[in-house]
Amino acid sequence: YGSELLRNFSIIAHIDHGKSTLADRLLELTGTIQKKSSGKNEQVLDKLKVERERGITVKAQTASMIYNFNGRDHMLNLIDTPGHVDFAWEVSRSLAACQGALLLVDASQGVQAQTISVFHNAKERGLTIIPVLNKIDLPAAQPERITAQMQSTFGIDPEDIIRISAKSGKGVDSILEAIVTRIPPPSGSLAAPLKAFLFDSLYDRYRGVISYELLGDKVASCHTRKKYEVTEVGIMHPEEVPTDSLRAGHVGYIACNMKESSEAHIGDTIHRVGEPVEPLPGFQPAKAMVFAGVFPVDSSDFPKLEESIKRLTLTDRSVTVQRESSSALGQGCRLGFLGTLHMDVFRQRLEDEYDANIIITAPTVPYKLIYRDNKEVFVSNPTEFPETSDTASRVKEIQEPIVKASIIVPEEYFGDMMDLCFSHRAEDLDHRYLDSGTATSARIILTCTIPLSEIVTNFFDQLKSRSSGFASFDYEDAGYKQSDLAKMSFLLNAKPVDALAIIVHRSAQDKIAREWVKKLHKVIPRQLFEVPIQAAIGRKVLARETLSAMRADVTAGLYGGHYERKMKHLENQKEGKRRMKKMGTVDLPQEAFFDILSNK
């Protein structure tokens, strides 16, 4: 396919507005996949099990399809993007390979928080935007109203909006036509030397690293200068289909003898050996903003866990990995994630794909410590956070990351959202109406700055439950701000347990101390003697519970927790042999940590 017959596009939308469903219809209409007779909506592009289970797209996928327009076959390359706020980085990565984007809006829900952020992202990259109103089959659809919304929010001409039902397929064919007629073909010359942009990679147990690239024989990386033998090239149609070659503007894959996952750098430029090129502009690496320790339930599993993490990080390059050792939990890894959903998804993938049983510590954001000598240090592990005595003498200022959040919500939930924000230390609250003039169920966009640490725990769940599911949420980095923070330790029999330490804001210290101590009391098995459980900041004890001594045979069912998860890893433990960890004089099974840390 000459480049004039190529179109590279992606579908951008707020979560659940129907990207994957539309992708399926496009693949069916072009005969890339068979139409399912069962009528069941099995999304082809959602490859990972966790995506199917949760119904969200996590990893961007690509697929090529052939569409005949005006008697000529065109190759349309769809680069799918994830919809969740944590994965904004993946979205920009995918957009870097496109010339156009379908902006999908649910006709019953209208413009939502991420609709706005993805729109601006695509706009900034100069992509041609094709506005699409989806779900027009829904009884609750309000196409006229949402059209007006898209016009007022984005300046979109109502004439340009294509109305479809991705579910029934109605109107979807006009999207294919619009892709060909409205989106420009990629620029690129067939005569010029090979220049391929690497935007994703995956590890195949049998074939080594596979890279998805824009385009060979012998290739080299601009980044590492390493050379590779190409063993196969092809396109995703929708699975890997080998082809003779990849040409300018194509989106496809290259299988080569890359041995280590770390050699595939996202944003790298690949060229032919002996024909050096200027590297294409890469993109900002993702910044990990949520950190947590991951430990095997059975300490002897650490090598397996580390290997599993290594493999998974190849398909998810935004995760950072460092080794960590804890006196309570043994050897583990400290992982950095883009957000909590990202962390959750990674954990699930780890459990699904590698059958690993893991304990994950409470999430921490990167704090900034400014010392008296003006040295700045970032700390993302509570164990490295200075004690209060130290803080007073050596640290001049402690800062925490803050974000600019926007929440879109129907007017009647506005008060609840304000309360939620205030209870999470939000500042600079502001709001305006999104739908001007409509008297019934007008929607408000609420903006504020809020500490990142406040939204990494269960903010999103609360937002959803307190707005009956109607609120949508998005945020962006807003730098650092001074804050009154301290390290809270938890002590068993007067000995601090490192894996349980957390960083808290002083205004909430007493409440948090009481809650955690109660929780520990519930899950820690009784010992042969009485055990005091304490929460302390520095030398000051803020809360205490006492675990009474064990009477004979009170060993079973002492702690609660997530039943299925517990069963799953209990099964994997050798019969009757519980691994105990000595914490000072206290015997703790790893499962107790699992329970403490896994139920929020």
Q: Can you name the residues that pair with 398 across neighbouring β-strands?
A: 369
How would you class 29 by CB atoms within 10 Å of its CB: exposed for 0-12, middle for 13-18, buried for 19 or more? middle
Quick check: 342 binds ligand GTP (CB under 6 A)? no
**Using CA atoms, how far apart are residues 112 and 83, in angstroms rounded to an integer?**
12
Which one of residues 7, 19, 163, 317 is an interface residue with ligand GTP (CB under 6 A)?
Answer: 19
Q: In this complex, which beta carbon is closest to ligand GTP, that of residue 2 or of residue 55?
A: 55
Which one of residues 8, 9, 10, 13 is an interface residue with ligand GTP (CB under 6 A)?
Answer: 13
Q: In this complex, which beta carbon is closest to ligand GTP, that of residue 8 or of residue 134?
A: 134
The distance of closest approach from Cβ of residue 81 to ligand GTP in the complex, given in angstroms and rounded to an integer, is 8
Site for ligand GTP in 62-91 (CB under 6 A): 83
Say if residue 80 carries a ligand binding annotation. yes
Pairing of strands 72-80, 6-13: parallel
The distance of closest approach from Cβ of residue 424 to ligand GTP in the complex, given in angstroms and rounded to an integer, is 25
Instruction: Determine the residue with CB nearest ligand GTP.
Output: 83
Say if residue 83 carries a ligand binding annotation. yes
Quick one: which segment of 87-95, 165-173, 415-423, 538-546 binds ligand GTP (CB under 6 A)?
165-173
**Using CA atoms, how far apart are residues 551 and 526, in angstroms rounded to an integer?**
9
Helix (H) or strand (E) holding 394: helix 388-394
The distance of closest approach from Cβ of residue 91 to ligand GTP in the complex, given in angstroms and rounded to an integer, is 10
Q: In this complex, which beta carbon is closest to ligand GTP, that of residue 13 or of residue 421?
A: 13
Quick one: which segment of 164-172, 316-324, 328-336, 427-435 binds ligand GTP (CB under 6 A)?
164-172
Q: In this complex, which beta carbon is closest to ligand GTP, that of residue 45 or of residue 297?
A: 45
**Using CA atoms, how far apart are residues 485 and 172, in angstroms rounded to an integer?**
53
Please count the residues of this chain forming the interface with ligand GTP, following the rule CB under 6 A: 20
Quick check: 166 binds ligand GTP (CB under 6 A)? yes
Nearest to 403 by CA among 337, 465, 333, 476: 476
Alpha carbon distances (Å) from 99 to 125, 130, 187, 276, 379: 9, 11, 10, 25, 40
Quick one: which segment of 2-10, 18-26, 301-309, 439-447 binds ligand GTP (CB under 6 A)?
18-26
* Contact assessment for residue 597 and residue 520, using Cβ atoms and an 8 Å cutoff: no
Which one of residues 8, 92, 99, 165 is an interface residue with ligand GTP (CB under 6 A)?
Answer: 165
Which one of residues 8, 9, 18, 194 is an interface residue with ligand GTP (CB under 6 A)?
Answer: 18
Cis peptide before 238 (omega within 30 of 0): yes
Quick check: 135 binds ligand GTP (CB under 6 A)? yes
Quick one: which segment of 8-16, 263-271, 503-511, 541-549 binds ligand GTP (CB under 6 A)?
8-16
- Contact string (CB under 6 A) for ligand GTP, positions 37-66, x = contact: ----x-------------xxx---------
Site for ligand GTP in 430-469 (CB under 6 A): none
Say if residue 81 carries a ligand binding annotation. yes
Angle at 174 between CA 171 and CA 180, to 5 degrees: 155
Q: What three-state secondary structure class fits 205?
A: coil
Quick check: 16 binds ligand GTP (CB under 6 A)? yes
Q: In this complex, which beta carbon is closest to ligand GTP, that of residue 13 or of residue 426?
A: 13
How would you class 384 by CB atoms within 10 Å of its CB: exposed for 0-12, middle for 13-18, buried for 19 or more? middle
Which strands sit side by side in the sheet containing 330-337, from one edge to the other?
320-326, 330-337, 290-296, 358-360
Q: In this complex, which beta carbon is closest to ligand GTP, that of residue 41 or of residue 68?
A: 41
Quick one: which segment of 130-138, 190-198, 333-341, 564-572 binds ligand GTP (CB under 6 A)?
130-138
The distance of closest approach from Cβ of residue 104 to ligand GTP in the complex, given in angstroms and rounded to an integer, is 7
Say if residue 84 carries a ligand binding annotation. yes
**Using CA atoms, how far apart are residues 562 and 347, in angstroms rounded to an integer?**
15
Say if residue 137 carries a ligand binding annotation. yes
Quick check: 189 binds ligand GTP (CB under 6 A)? no
Angle at 563 between CA 561 and CA 569, to 5 degrees: 100
φ, ψ of residue 166 to 5 degrees: the values are -65, -25
Q: In this complex, which beta carbon is closest to ligand GTP, that of residue 24 or of residue 306?
A: 24
Residue 369, both tokens? 């410590």
* Contact assessment for residue 278 and residue 330, using Cβ atoms and an 8 Å cutoff: no
Say if residue 581 carries a ligand binding annotation. no
Quick check: 210 binds ligand GTP (CB under 6 A)? no
Q: Which residue has the tokens 């109107």?
A: 171
Q: In this complex, which beta carbon is closest to ligand GTP, that of residue 84 or of residue 334?
A: 84
Q: Can you name the residues that pair with 104 across neighbouring β-strands?
A: 13, 132
Quick check: 137 binds ligand GTP (CB under 6 A)? yes
* Contact assessment for residue 246 and residue 252, using Cβ atoms and an 8 Å cutoff: yes
The distance of closest approach from Cβ of residue 138 to ligand GTP in the complex, given in angstroms and rounded to an integer, is 5
The distance of closest approach from Cβ of residue 147 to ligand GTP in the complex, given in angstroms and rounded to an integer, is 16
Which one of residues 5, 29, 66, 138 is an interface residue with ligand GTP (CB under 6 A)?
Answer: 138
Quick check: 167 binds ligand GTP (CB under 6 A)? yes
Quick check: 334 binds ligand GTP (CB under 6 A)? no
How would you class 367 by CB atoms within 10 Å of its CB: exposed for 0-12, middle for 13-18, buried for 19 or more? buried
What length does the chain have?
600
The distance of closest approach from Cβ of residue 39 to ligand GTP in the complex, given in angstroms and rounded to an integer, is 11
Q: What three-state secondary structure class fits 272?
A: strand
Which one of residues 12, 15, 116, 335 is an interface residue with ligand GTP (CB under 6 A)?
Answer: 15
Alpha helices in 18-58 (DSSP H): 19-29, 49-54
Residue 155, both tokens? 């300046």
**Using CA atoms, how far apart are residues 387 and 367, in angstroms rounded to an integer?**
14
Quick one: which segment of 160-168, 285-293, 338-346, 512-520 binds ligand GTP (CB under 6 A)?
160-168
Quick one: which segment of 30-38, 135-143, 380-388, 581-589 binds ligand GTP (CB under 6 A)?
135-143
Which strands sit side by side in the sheet containing 6-13, from one edge to the other?
62-69, 72-80, 6-13, 100-106, 128-134, 162-163
Say if residue 11 carries a ligand binding annotation. no
Nearest to 133 by CA among 173, 159, 164: 164
Q: Which residue has the tokens 């068979």?
A: 34
**Using CA atoms, how far apart are residues 293 and 334, in angstroms rounded to an integer?**
4
Name the site residues for ligand GTP (rule: CB under 6 A): 13, 15-21, 41, 55-57, 83, 134-135, 137-138, 165-167
Annotated binding site: 13-20, 80-84, 134-137
Which residues define the annotated binding site for GTP? Answer: 13-20, 80-84, 134-137
